[in-house]
Amino acid sequence: MDDVELILPGEFGAATRLSSKALRLYAEQGLLVPAATDPATGYRRYRRDQIPRGRLIARLRVLGLPLARVATLLEFSPQARQAELRAWLAAQEAQLRRRRELIEALEGAAAPVTAAPRLRSRPPRKLLAQERRVHIGELDTFVTDAQHRIRARLRATDLPCDGPTLVHFHGFVTHDSNGPVEVAVPFTGSVEPVDDLRVRLSPAGTDVYLPVAEADAGFPDILRAYETLEAWIDANRLTSPASPVEIRPGTDGALLDVTYPVSTSGES
């Protein structure tokens, strides 16, 4: 290769707006390998026709894309790369919308949704349940399908199946977090669990609850109910020893009740 075709890293960096540190990193990662390296001095040289690739890498990195994603995009045709970037941008915009919704919901979290929190006793219950990790977009379908399976299993064994639907949130469920969710129906009698259905006992105790109307039950609006209950628990110096539960249907004509088990005086 004729030396006249090659340029020094400083000139190449100025043309691509890439620092010497970035050039070394991209060379190590195989994204922008120098055309020649002097074995004695270690000086690197680049071809002028590598400048467009260097500029493309710089622009992709400005977007915040990880190096692995940049490496993949470099191998695409311009048309395919543009389509991929538009899809990535749409996903980023959707994520930004979800974060905006969450912030707006948290801004209004101090106000109760429909009423002040109330305490009530929780009887011991035998539950037939199914658990799965889901994102918020999958939650309604999972709850509907799981309760239908559970009730069908109870009917198949001639047991009452008209109890409320209990949705236990054992982790945080959002668009980005797939927390474990357990759907359960209380029953009396004996049933053999099948597949991923299981039987467990729920102890007696005390719950603090808040009825939530249908208009307030969607995500992220329902987070206001959770925030209200958590603030009430803190203000009353109580603790919650287990996961929150949504009970459907709710009291007083509400779509659901959001409940937290709480430890009160005299309860272990």
Q: How do residues 124-150 score in pLDDT, each as one tens digit?
A: 999 999 999 998 889 999 999 999 999
121 strand-pairing partners? 206
Residue type, 261: P
Same domain, 138 and 210: yes
Q: Answer whether 8's CB lies under 8 Å from 23's CB.
A: no
From 48, 75, 102, give the residue that closes a domain: 75
Residues 20, 44: contact at Cβ < 8 Å? Answer: no
Q: Which residues span the domain enclosing 220?
A: 118-262
- Asked whether residue 158 is domain-assigned, the answer is yes
113 pLDDT above the threshold of 50:
no
Residue 123 has pLDDT above 90, yes or no: yes
Rounded percentage of the chain residues whose pLDDT exceeds 90: 64
Domain identity same for 68 and 198: no
| Buried/exposed 243-257: b ≥16 CB within 10 Å, e otherwise | ebbbbbebeeebbbb
Provide the pLDDT for residue 175.
76
What integer pLDDT is reported at residue 110 of this predicted model?
47
For the stretch 178-197, pLDDT in tens is 889 999 999 999 999 899 99
Within a domain: 106: no
Is the pLDDT at 267 greater than 60, yes or no?
no
